[in-house]
C-alpha cells in the first residue's frame, strides 16, 4: 500500500473502532484532520477553519468566546488514548493529535510505546518516524542515544515545571484543555451540579397533531380529542441548547443525561438535579413541580396576540415592564425574552435550572446565557458571587435580539436573588 492509502486506512480503522463508536462528531473531526494531513502536509489547521467547515459554525465564530473546537479536540485525544490502550494496543502505526495542535501525525511505534490522553507517547518513538509530508525524505536511523537523551531531558523539564511551588500536579487523565476553562463557567456550574450523579436535562416535548408533510399544530384538547398525538418533535433552539450544554460539561469533565419531557417522571424530580429546557407551554412537566414564582409564563388568551406566550412580572422594580412578549407571530422574529432561573427542587437537597424562552430561539439564548463566559460573568457579578458555594437561588429575565432566526445578543433586564 502507498503511504497515503495506508494512513487513510488507519483513520477509517479508528472511526470503526469501539472507542469511537457512536461519536459521530469526533469521527467527522478525525476524518477531516486526517484528510488535511494527507492532502496539505505541513499546513497548520486553524480553530476557526474546523469550527466552520466541520461543525457548521457561522462566519462570525469567535474562538475566544466559544471553546467548542478545543473541547472536541480534547475528547478526540482521550478517545485515541483509549483505543491504543485497548483494541489498538498491537497496532504498528499510531495516529496522534499532539497537544496544542490540530495537525494529525502518523508514527510507527516500538514495542511498549503507549499513548496518553494528551496525545504524547509514554516511550520514545521508533527511529523510523513517518513524516506527514510527501516531499520531504523520511528521516531514518536516528541515533538511539540522542533520542533517549532528548526524551529524558524533556521529562525532567516537564517534571520541574509541573511540580514547581504553587502548582499542583494534575490528576491522571486530566484533559489538557482544563486550564482554559473560564472561571465564570467553573463557578456557576460547580455551584449548580454538586451531586455525585449527572444532572438530567429535560427538553420540551409538546404534543402535536397532523403530519410533517401536510402540516402540524399544537394539540388542543377541546378540538382534537380523537386525533392521534405526535409527541416526538421539539424546536431547533432546544437541540442547539443541548449541544451547548454538552460542550460545557465535557469541558468541565462532567456528563449529562438527557430525557424528553413526555417521558419525565416525578421520581426523576425527587432524586436528581434537573435542567429544564423550554417553557411550561411546551415543557409540560414544569407545571407539576416547583417552578419560577417571580417571573411566570402565561399564554395570551385574547386580542391580536392570542396564543402567544408572555412572561409576567407581578412585582416590577424600578422601570421594569409588567410583562414581556416576543415579536408578533405574524412578523419576522427580531426580539424574544427568556427566563433563566435556579430554584430548589421537590427535594431540597436537589436543584433545578430553568432555561426557557417564549419561543424556541429564546430558549436557545437562555442556554447560551449560562454557557458563555461574558454573559455568566455579568450575572455572577450582579449577584456578587465569587465562589461556587456563594451561588444562591435566583430568577432572571433576559432580552434576546434575533437576526435571521439566530440569537445574536442577550441582555439582563430583571434579576431576583431569592432567600
To the nearest whole percent, how much of the chain has pLDDT over 70?
77
**For 71-82, what is the mean pLDDT?**
87
What letters, b where the CB count within 10 A reaches 16 and e where it falls short, cover 381-401? eebebeeeeebeebbbbbbbe
- What is the pLDDT at residue 124? 31
* 308 pLDDT higher than 80: yes
**191 shares a domain with 88:** no
pLDDT grade for 384, boundaries at 50, 70 and 90: very high
Confidence grade of residue 134 (pLDDT, cut at 50, 70, 90): very low
Query: What average pLDDT does this structure show over 324-345?
Result: 91
Which residue among 149, 179, 209 closes a domain?
179
Which residue matches cell numbers 509530508? 133
For residue 156, pLDDT over 80 is answered with no
- Same domain? 193 vs 333: yes
Mean predicted lDDT score pLDDT of the chain: 77
Per-residue pLDDT, averaged over 116-125, amounts to 42
Quote the Cα angle for 247-180-159, to 5°: 125
* Mean pLDDT to the nearest integer, 37-46: 85
Judge if 260 and 209 occupy the same domain: yes
13 pLDDT above the threshold of 60? yes
Per residue in 54-67, pLDDT tens? Answer: 888 888 888 877 88
Question: Is the same domain home to 265 and 362?
Answer: yes
Confidence tier at 271 by pLDDT (50, 70, 90): confident
What was the pLDDT predicted at 346?
76
Same domain, 27 and 114: yes
Domain boundary among 120, 153, 179: 179
Q: Using CA atoms in the order 72, 76, 79, 80, what is the torsion angle rounded to 10 degrees? A: -170
Model pTM above 0.85:
no
293 and 409 share one domain: yes
What distance in Å separates the CA atoms of residue 403 and residue 330, rounded to the nearest whole number? Answer: 16
Q: Are 201 and 90 contained in the same domain? A: no
> Between these two residues, 314 and 144, which has the higher pLDDT value?
314
The mean pLDDT value for 258-263 works out to: 79
Give the percent of the chain with pLDDT over 90.
21
Supply the range of the domain harboring residue 9: 3-179
Residues 207, 320 share a domain: yes
- Over residues 13-17, the mean pLDDT reads 88
Q: Do 303 and 275 share a structural domain?
A: yes
**Domain termination residue (choose one: 163, 179, 195):** 179
Confidence of residue 318 (pLDDT cuts 50, 70, 90): confident
Q: Which long-range contacts link 110-118 to residues 24+ away (Cβ below 8 Å)?
A: 114/84, 114/85, 115/80, 115/81, 115/84, 115/85, 116/81, 117/77, 117/78, 117/81, 117/173, 117/175, 117/176, 118/77, 118/175, 118/176
Give the pLDDT of residue 125.
31
Nearest in space to 175 (alpha carbons), one of 55, 32, 72: 72
Judge if 171 and 297 occupy the same domain: no
Q: In whole angstroms, what is the distance from residue 342 CA to residue 183 CA?
A: 19
392 by DSSP, 3-state: which? coil
Task: Report the C-alpha gap between 239 and 260 in whole angstroms.
Answer: 11
Q: What local confidence, expressed as pLDDT, does residue 245 receive?
A: 92
**Residue 325 pLDDT:** 93
How many distinct structural domains can be found in the chain? 2
Verify that 106 and 193 share a domain, yes or no.
Answer: no
**pLDDT for 416:** 95
- Report for 140-149, 160-169, 181-190, 378-387: range of highest mean pLDDT: 378-387
Average pLDDT over residues 131-142: 38
- Tell me the longest C-alpha to C-alpha distance in the chain: 84
Task: Write down the pLDDT at residue 128.
Answer: 34
Report pLDDT for 362. 92
What are the φ and ψ backbone dihedral angles of 143, each rounded to 5 degrees?
A: -65, 120
CB hemisphere CA count around 352 (13 angstroms): 26
Per residue in 226-256, pLDDT tens?
A: 787 777 777 888 889 999 998 888 888 888 8
Which range among 38-47, 127-136, 146-155, 199-208 has the greatest average pLDDT? 38-47
Higher local confidence (pLDDT), 262 or 6: 6
- Tell me the per-residue pLDDT of 345-363, one tens digit each, with 9 for 90 and over: 777 778 889 999 988 899 9
Higher-confidence residue: 235 or 413?
Answer: 413
> Distance (Å, rounded) from C-alpha 39 to C-alpha 43?
9
Tell me which of 47 and 169 has the higher pLDDT.
47
64 and 191 belong to one structural domain: no
Mean pLDDT calculated for residue range 3-23 = 84
Give the tens place of pLDDT for each residue, 173-206.
334 334 457 889 989 998 777 666 788 898 877 7
Task: Choose from 64-78, 184-198, 294-308, 368-382 the range with maximum mean pLDDT.
Answer: 368-382
Q: Which of 133, 135, 95 is nearest to 9 (CA)?
A: 95
Burial of 202 (C-beta count, 10 Å sphere; 0-12/13-18/19+): buried
In this model, does residue 116 exceed pLDDT 70? no
Amino acid at each position: 500500500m502507498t503511504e497515503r492509502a495506508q494512513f487513510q486506512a488507519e483513520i477509517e480503522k479508528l472511526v470503526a473502532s469501539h472507542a469511537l463508536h457512536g461519536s459521530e462528531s469526533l469521527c467527522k473531526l478525525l476524518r477531516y484532520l486526517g484528510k488535511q494531513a494527507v492532502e496539505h502536509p505541513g499546513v497548520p489547521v486553524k480553530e476557526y477553519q474546523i469550527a466552520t467547515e466541520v461543525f457548521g459554525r457561522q462566519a462570525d465564530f469567535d474562538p475566544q468566546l466559544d471553546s467548542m473546537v478545543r473541547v472536541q479536540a480534547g475528547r478526540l485525544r482521550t478517545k485515541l488514548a483509549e483505543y491504543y490502550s485497548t483494541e489498538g494496543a498491537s497496532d504498528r502505526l499510531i495516529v496522534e493529535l499532539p497537544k496544542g495542535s490540530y495537525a494529525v501525525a502518523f508514527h510507527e511505534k516500538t514495542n511498549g510505546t503507549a499513548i496518553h490522553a494528551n496525545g504524547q507517547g509514554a516511550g520514545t518513538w521508533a527511529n523510523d518516524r513517518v513524516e506527514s509530508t510527501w516531499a520531504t525524505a523520511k528521516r531514518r536511523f536516528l541515533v538511539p542515544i540522542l533520542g533517549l537523551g532528548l526524551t529524558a531531558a524533556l521529562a525532567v523539564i516537564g517534571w520541574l515545571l509541573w511540580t514547581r511551588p504553587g502548582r499542583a500536579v494534575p490528576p491522571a487523565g486530566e484533559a489538557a484543555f482544563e486550564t482554559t476553562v473560564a472561571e465564570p463557567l467553573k463557578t456557576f456550574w460547580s455551584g449548580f451540579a454538586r451531586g455525585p450523579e449527572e444532572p438530567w436535562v429535560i427538553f420540551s416535548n409538546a404534543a402535536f397533531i397532523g403530519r410533517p408533510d401536510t402540516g402540524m399544530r399544537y394539540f388542543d384538547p377541546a378540538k382534537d380529542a380523537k386525533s392521534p398525538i405526535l409527541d416526538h418533535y421539539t424546536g431547533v433552539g432546544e437541540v442547539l441548547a443541548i449541544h451547548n450544554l454538552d460542550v460545557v460539561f465535557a469541558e468541565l469533565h462532567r456528563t449529562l443525561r438527557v430525557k424528553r419531557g413526555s417521558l419525565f417522571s416525578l421520581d426523576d424530580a425527587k432524586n436528581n438535579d434537573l435542567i429544564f429546557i423550554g417553557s411550561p407551554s411546551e415543557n409540560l412537566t414544569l407545571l407539576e413541580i416547583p417552578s419560577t414564582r417571580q417571573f411566570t409564563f402565561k399564554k395570551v388568551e385574547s386580542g391580536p396576540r392570542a396564543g402567544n406566550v408572555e412572561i409576567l412580572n407581578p412585582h416590577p422594580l424600578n422601570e421594569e415592564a409588567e410583562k414581556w412578549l416576543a415579536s408578533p407571530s405574524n412578523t419576522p422574529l427580531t426580539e424574544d425574552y427568556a427566563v433563566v432561573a435556579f430554584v430548589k427542587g421537590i427535594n431540597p437537597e436537589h436543584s433545578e435550572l430553568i432555561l426557557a424562552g417564549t419561543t424556541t430561539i429564546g430558549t436557545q439564548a437562555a442556554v447560551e446565557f449560562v454557557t458563555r463566559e461574558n454573559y455568566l460573568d455579568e450575572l455572577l457579578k450582579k449577584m456578587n458571587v465569587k465562589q461556587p458555594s456563594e451561588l444562591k437561588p435566583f430568577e432572571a429575565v433576559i432580552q434576546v435580539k434575533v437576526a435571521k432566526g439566530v440569537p445574536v445578543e442577550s441582555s439582563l433586564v430583571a434579576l431576583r436573588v431569592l432567600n
